[in-house]
Structure 1
């Protein structure tokens, strides 16, 4: 079926939430700046011990925020920063948490009502030698925000209400929480430049997406290196969520893709490669883009580029004005491309993007999770 893609961003709540992101980023910057003094005091105390480890935790899309921002945070703080899904913290806490060192647990939560979010905080309290909590959430009334809001060892940063997506998939919440984290820890980010870039992407994304949807892809591959691996993972998840799994999607690191996942390629595949702004890393992204162009055809390979026109036989989608931004920052306007592609694919499949699972098989806030009691403090 042919979808009139030029109307997708205005077709539903999810499209509106994709399109509002540049405005939300400006508002997020204002929220962080407004709490700058209290936030700096909390972080200075939490990170006073040089042995303190920063653990970035969330589930699903929220876990990919950690993947995206871990690299620039580690460089900024000159200490260990790890991204660990809350699902790992809950299911294997002794393996996921550094129990013998002080921990700053940064919890990402759109709603703050998923059972894993609360359980991860409780397990960190129980198992780590010393822990403080930074909660970055879009919902002031969520269970996580309420539980941590009155604690002396916790800081709750609530983002603007618009970031709390009403649609099924996380869009504004993903980019809003990622930006808030970079700003909170003092990573150099030009927010206005990102917002302008996001507006430019929105202005031209729908015709580009229409050309890809016209190819009727049944598989989507997203690849990126370093921080952009987290972007690739989130891009693939958006497609899986909004198409209810009808279009198979994989996210991976550019170099790792050759080690088995490349077997997913077939004649109905479209591949998207995010090109790093780092010159050294970018060379590896370009290598896989050229390899994919030879394997499935240049018209089925898209390179998303923030540094300049890429010398590669593929469709080039440019994110303008972000050549000097870190990969984790320019990923925010870049994800607009993947979000819009997933939205258009969902509509093309005859689904409702705001609720692609009307039978309740998958839910906006995860259901069916049983938190089992931890009966011993030792484990593998």
Structure 2
């Protein structure tokens, strides 16, 4: 055991004033001391915190580390006591290992291919133009979250799964309550129950009268209604929240880096590398948790079976041993290969859809509003709390014109 091995007793959460895009400084300091540290959980469990790129990627690729919900007994900031954690409900495959995980993921892989997602580009362009038209017609100010970042991915994922247009508003409101990090337990339970009820009705409707969407296609399989309901919940929640926050926080980051924004305006061919760099730089999905199924050697340390391991994506994506000038937003960056979409068997299924949405939406936004700027001081932009599963902004007031 290395004598310099660091032990962390509290998960750093406070971002430095004026640095809303950087991980908490204390977390970066932990990574500077080494890519792996001991982590003392509030309930006394002695686990690990992995902050370096190579080690995080290694754990994500190693099926000796489990994602199973029933093994997630230790929370990094809360002592839940001796609670019994149930297995993930049918269909909610993010918290499963193979073979349960593969049962749900495999039928979806062919529905989210690069080719199929690129075929949606024209529709994303149409939806984006409609919302930019509405912004322009409404005046010279807007909340970019509600006017742009939220509705574009909402329309796309709901159309892909066959959620009727009229139902999108109430559905998204409940999904927002899951993800905001600011919802009371009572509100959370009510929102979850409402979404479950709605999805059960939607699955039944697709079985009775299939339409041209992914959920209808999945009804022609051996998946049960309960499994389809769980799969739909995962896809909708992920498809709505992550891209919304990448679009909003990504625009905020560009507005705070005018030279990079000018480069994108002058060279729209930069959009592919710009999207990858924003994904790396912002890492809105901050990390994940794994549990060792057997004794594993990791970074020179012995990880015992049953030990909980915290993985920090945002420090991994700022690792100076992997990226040159990692805290610099550089839309021309060539050293890609970030972990914004995770890695391994649980790598994000919808990553190609997110890329298409970001490429189209950001290109159109900067072209339509060449004078786009913040309508409030940067330090008044309301950020999501660190307790939120996905980091981002609550609202982004912008203005344009003279």
TM-score range normalised by the length of the shorter chain: under 0.3
Q: TM-score, normalised by structure 2?
A: 0.27
Q: Which entry has the higher C-alpha Rg, 1 or 2?
A: 2
Greater relative CO, 1 or 2 (CA 8 Å, sep 6+): 2
Relative to total residues, which structure has the larger strand share, 1 or 2? 1
Relative to the length of structure 1, the TM-score reads 0.28
